[in-house]
Amino acid sequence: MSVNRPMGDSESDPKARRRALDALEEVGVIVPDPDRTYVDPQVKVAAGTILYPGTHLRGATRIGSNCRIGPDCWIEDTLIEECCTVRYSVVEGAIVRAASQIGPYAHLRPGADVGPDVRVGNFVEVKQSRLERGVKAGHLAYVGDAEVGEGTNIGAGAITCNYDGTSKHRTTVGKNAFIGSNASLVAPLSIGDEAVVAAGSTITDDVPSDATAFGRARQVNKKVGPKIEEDANDDR
């Protein structure tokens, strides 16, 4: 994020902030609490969108019609198309396509391109990745340097392991795949259409379409020996 912006922006100059909000309200943007809403003058917002308190719109941001933005969002240099919802989230240098839902507490980093009709939920981070129509990443996932096909579900705790300590590598996931909870996808990697990655797996080899991949140790249950009770009078 940029810092030390010149005077006259939405935070350092209350009059400039008020003028920017007045201009948006004139074209049909709804601002319930202007005293807690911050919009740079160059930001464009279409009619019917609501900017809830705590929203910061910065830089070259463009927001379509009938969106719900906030509360408590930082959105910078980002395109958000119509009918999207973004709550309690940070979105930087990203594209959010129509009818997508972001947050709460999501982070779209530069190069994220999600939607349309995508769900990026609680504590999900997306970086330099394309999430096609209908992808769902509901919570606690990291998607970096990836292409994810339409209709795919990314389970809680799933991550793309995109950095090997020297270079970044890409992960490709096909359409309607299912990535189980706590799966680690070690890039470079390709997962086919309709494939399933079992929960808790570490996947290092490509997965064909319609296959199910397991990358975890077999469960072993062992009997526990009789409990040794210490003598009540033992001073050890």
Q: Which residues are catalytic?
A: 139
Closest by Cα among 111, 44, 54, 52 to 80: 44
Q: Are 194 and 205 in contact (CB under 8 A)?
A: no
Tokens representing residue 69 in the block: 């933005």
Taking the CB of residue 211, how many other CB atoms lie within 10 A of it?
A: 13
Q: Which residue, chain included where needed, has tokens 């400039």? A: 16
SS3 232: coil
Q: Please report, as a single letter, which amino acid is at residue 175.
A: K
